[in-house]
Amino acid sequence: MKANRIALAGNPNTGKSTLFNTLTGLKQHTGNWPGKTVVHAEGTFQHQGEDYLLIDLPGTYSLFSNSSDEEVARDYIVFEKPDVTLVVVDGTSMERNLNLALQVLEMTDNVIICINLIDEAEKKGIAIDEEILSSKLGVPVVKVSARNKKGIDTLLDTIARLLRGDIQTKPYRLTYRPEIEEQIKKLEFSVRKLVGNDYPSRWITLRLLDGDDALLKKLHDQIKNKGRGGKPNEFRKVIN
Ligand SMILES: Nc1nc2c(ncn2[C@@H]2O[C@H](COP(=O)(O)OP(=O)(O)O)[C@@H](O)[C@H]2O)c(=O)[nH]1
Ligand SMILES: [Mg+2]
C-alpha cells in the first residue's frame, strides 16, 4: 500500500526538523528539490500498521513566489497535494506564526496545526487553548514539544483520524476587502473551468489577481501535463 504523505510546513525555527527527526529517526534522506538548490528531506515511519512518508518543507514566513524556498513549499502543498499538511507553529509567538497557518488554510482542507515548543511557552506563562483555536480555525490543533517528545502520540492519532475521515475540517478562509471579493467572484468561475476541482480555485484566483507570474507558469505546465489541453495564456486571458 502507498504511504500516506505528510508535509511539514512552518516558519523557520519552529522545530520542524526536530519533529521530523523525532518521527522518522534514522529512516530519512536528504537531497535537493528538482532543479533547485533548496534542501529536500524526507523520511518514513509507521504508526498503527500504516506507512507514512514525511516531507520536511523549507521554512518560510509566507507562501508566495518571493523565493525558491517559498515556491518549493507552496508548489508541494498545491500541486503534489500531500495527504496532510502539518503546520508547525512556535507556541511562544503564535501571532506571527499564525500568518503562515492562515495561508496554508487557503490552499488545502487537509491541515493540522501543530503548536510546538509548548514547554517554552509554558515557562513563559503563555496559555494556549487548543480547543478554541481549533474551532476558530476549523482544523485540528495539537500541542507538542518535539524536543521532549511530548504530545507526539496525540499528534499521530490526530493524523490517523483525519486520514480515516473521522475528523472533518472546515478551514477558516479570510474574507478580503469588498473590491477584492468582487473580483474573486467574477474570476473564480473561469479559473475553476480551467483547473477543475484539482486545485484550490479561490486561492489560485487570489494569486492571479496578485500577478503571480511564477504560479501562472507552473499552472500551465501542470495542466499541459495532465492533458487538459491548457493552451498557453489561457490563464492570462482570464485575468486580462
Ligand atoms: N524548548 C524546545 N526547543 C525546541 C523544541 N523543538 C525544537 N526546539 C529547538 O528549536 C530550535 C529550532 O529547531 P529546528 O528543528 O531546527 O527548527 P526548524 O527550522 O523549523 O527546522 C532548535 O534549537 C531546537 O532544538 C521543543 O519542543 N522545545
Ligand atoms: Mg529545519
pLDDT tens, residue by residue, 110-129: 999 999 999 999 999 999 99
pLDDT band at 239; cut points 50, 70, 90: low
Return the C-alpha cell found at 164: 480515516
Output the pTM of the full model. Answer: 0.93
For residue 41, is pLDDT > 70?
A: yes
Residues 210-216: what's their mean pLDDT?
89
How far is ligand 1, taken at its centre, from the CA of residue 96, in Å?
A: 17
pLDDT at 65: 80
Number of Cβ within 10 Å of residue 79's Cβ equals: 14
How many helical (H) and strand (E) elements, i.e. helices and strands, does the chain have? Answer: 10, 7
Task: Kindly state the DSSP code that residue 80 receives in the 8-state scheme.
Answer: I
pLDDT band at 17; cut points 50, 70, 90: very high
pLDDT band at 231; cut points 50, 70, 90: low
Residues 60-79: what's their mean pLDDT?
93
14 C-beta closer than 6 A to ligand 1:
yes
How far is ligand 2, taken at its centre, from the CA of residue 116, in Å?
A: 13
Atom 22, ligand 1: which residue's CA is nearest?
A: 15
* Cα–Cα distance, 167 to 112 (Å, whole number): 11
SS3 146: coil
pLDDT band at 35; cut points 50, 70, 90: confident
Atom of ligand 1 nearest to the CA of 18: 15
pLDDT band at 106; cut points 50, 70, 90: very high
Number of Cβ within 10 Å of residue 3's Cβ equals: 14
18 C-beta closer than 6 A to ligand 1:
yes
pLDDT at 216: 87
